[in-house]
Chain A
Amino acid sequence: MPQQLTPQLKDLQSEIEGYAREYGLDFFDVVFEVLDWEEINEVAAYGGYPARYPYWRFGMEYYALSRGYAYGLQKIYEMVINNDPCYAYLLAANPIVDQKLVMAHVYGHADFFRNNYSFAHTNRRMVDEMANHAARIRRYVEAYGEDEVERFLDICLSLENLIDYNAPYIRRRRREDAGDIDPDHPARRRQPRRLAAKEYMEEYINPRGVLESEAQRLQEERKQEEKFPPRPEKDVLLFLLEHAPIPNWQRDIVGIIREEAYYFAPQGRTKIMNEGWASYWHSRIMTERALADPELIDYADHHSGTVATQPGRLNPYKLGLELYRDIEERWDKGRHGPEWEACNDFEVRKSWDTGAGGGREKIFQVRALYHDVTFIDEFLTPEFCHKHRLFTYEYNESTNEYEISSRSFEEIKRGLLFQLTNFGQPWVYVRDGNHMNRGELVLWHRYEGIPLRLDYAREVLENLHTIWKRPVHLETYDDDRPAVMSYDGSEHTAQERSED
Chain B
Amino acid sequence: MTGDSFSSFSSIRRIERDKKRFDAIIRGRIKKELRKHITRGELIGKRGGEIVSIPIPQIELPQLKYGRKRLVGVGQGEGAEGTPIGVGEAEGGAGGAGDQPAHHLREVELSIQELAELLGEELELPRIEPRGNRTLKSRRSRYKTIRSTGPETLRSFRRTYREALKRQIASGTYDYRYPMVSPVREDMRYRSWKEEPEPVANAVIIYMMDVSGSMGHEQKEIVRIESFWIDTWIRAHYHGIANRYIVHDAVAHEVDRETFYTTREAGGTRISSAYELGAKVIAGEYDPEEWNIYCFHFSDGDNWGGGDDEKCFELLIERLLPSVNLFGYGQVESRYGSGHFLEALGEHIEDERLVVSQIPDHEAILDSIKDFLGKGR
Interface string of A29-63 (1 = CB under 8 A from B): 00111000001001011111011001111111011
A450: Cβ under 8 A from any B Cβ: yes
| CB <8 Å contact, A423 and B98 | yes
In the complex the two chains form, what is the Cα distance from A1 to B19 in whole Å?
20
In the complex the two chains form, what is the Cα distance from A453 to B70 in whole Å?
12
Q: Which of A51, A402, A407 contacts B86 (CB 8 A)?
A: A402
B102: Cβ under 8 A from any A Cβ: yes
List CB contacts (< 8 Å) of A414-471 with chain B.
Answer: 414-416, 418-419, 423-426, 428, 445, 449-457, 459-460, 463
B80: Cβ under 8 A from any A Cβ: yes
List of A residues within 8 angstroms of B87 by Cβ: 400-402
Interface string of B136-168 (1 = CB under 8 A from A): 000000000000000000000000000000000
| CB <8 Å contact, B84 and A403 | yes
Interface of chain A: mostly helix, strand, loop or mixed: mixed
Of the stretches A114-122, A178-186, A328-336, A389-397, the one at the interface is A389-397
List of B residues within 8 angstroms of A402 by Cβ: 73, 84-89
Q: Which of B21, B76, B79 contacts A314 (CB 8 A)?
A: B76
Which 7 pairs from chain A and chain B are nearest by CB?
Answer: A424-B95, A59-B18, A268-B98, A59-B19, A264-B99, A312-B85, A59-B22
List of B residues within 8 angstroms of A65 by Cβ: 103
In the complex the two chains form, what is the Cα distance from A75 to B166 in whole Å?
26
Looking at B15, B21, B85, B89, the one whose CB has the most chain A CB atoms below 10 A away is: B15
Query: Can you pick out 26 interface pairs between chain A and chain B where the beta carbons lie within 8 Å of each other?
Result: A2-B3, A42-B12, A47-B101, A55-B18, A57-B22, A58-B15, A62-B15, A62-B19, A67-B56, A74-B103, A158-B62, A264-B99, A265-B99, A310-B107, A312-B76, A317-B102, A391-B76, A396-B84, A400-B217, A402-B87, A418-B72, A423-B95, A424-B66, A424-B95, A456-B64, A459-B62
List of A residues within 8 angstroms of B1 by Cβ: 4-5, 31-32
Interface residues on B, range: 35 or more
Smallest CB separation, A479 vs chain B (Å):
9
List of A residues within 8 angstroms of B25 by Cβ: 56
List of A residues within 8 angstroms of B185 by Cβ: none
Interface of chain B: mostly helix, strand, loop or mixed: loop
Closest to A32 in B: B1
| CB <8 Å contact, B20 and A59 | yes
A495: Cβ under 8 A from any B Cβ: no
Q: Which residues from chain A sit less than 8 Å from chain B, CB to CB?
A: 1-2, 4-5, 8, 31-33, 39, 42, 44-48, 50-51, 54-60, 62-65, 67-68, 71, 73-74, 76, 79, 87, 127, 147, 150-151, 154, 157-162, 261, 264-265, 267-269, 271, 275, 309-319, 388-397, 399-407, 411-412, 414-416, 418-419, 423-426, 428, 445, 449-457, 459-460, 463, 474
Smallest CB separation, A28 vs chain B (Å):
13
Looking at B66, B76, B79, the one whose CB has the most chain A CB atoms below 10 A away is: B76
| CB <8 Å contact, A1 and B7 | yes
| CB <8 Å contact, A391 and B77 | yes
| CB <8 Å contact, A419 and B74 | yes
List of B residues within 8 angstroms of A45 by Cβ: 15, 18
In the complex the two chains form, what is the Cα distance from A414 to B61 in whole Å?
29
In the complex the two chains form, what is the Cα distance from A67 to B122 in whole Å?
11
Smallest CB separation, A105 vs chain B (Å):
13
In the complex the two chains form, what is the Cα distance from A309 to B7 in whole Å?
36
In the complex the two chains form, what is the Cα distance from A378 to B327 in whole Å?
63
| CB <8 Å contact, B85 and A404 | yes
Q: Which of B9, B71, B75, B78 contacts A450 (CB 8 A)?
A: B71
List CB contacts (< 8 Å) of B1-25 with chain A.
Answer: 1, 3, 6-9, 11-12, 14-15, 17-23, 25
In the complex the two chains form, what is the Cα distance from A423 to B17 in whole Å?
32
List of A residues within 8 angstroms of B102 by Cβ: 271, 275, 316-317
List of B residues within 8 angstroms of A267 by Cβ: 98-99
Smallest CB separation, A51 vs chain B (Å):
6
Smallest CB separation, B195 vs chain A (Å):
29
Looking at A58, A59, A68, the one whose CB has the most chain B CB atoms below 10 A away is: A59
| CB <8 Å contact, A401 and B84 | yes
List of A residues within 8 angstroms of B106 by Cβ: 64, 68, 73
| CB <8 Å contact, B85 and A425 | no
| CB <8 Å contact, A390 and B73 | no
Smallest CB separation, B62 vs chain A (Å):
4
B133: Cβ under 8 A from any A Cβ: no
Smallest CB separation, B90 vs chain A (Å):
10
B105: Cβ under 8 A from any A Cβ: yes
Q: Which of B9, B11, B99, B217 contacts A261 (CB 8 A)?
A: B99
Q: Which of B3, B59, B85, B105 contacts A403 (CB 8 A)?
A: B85
List of B residues within 8 angstroms of A406 by Cβ: 81
In the complex the two chains form, what is the Cα distance from A60 to B31 in whole Å?
15
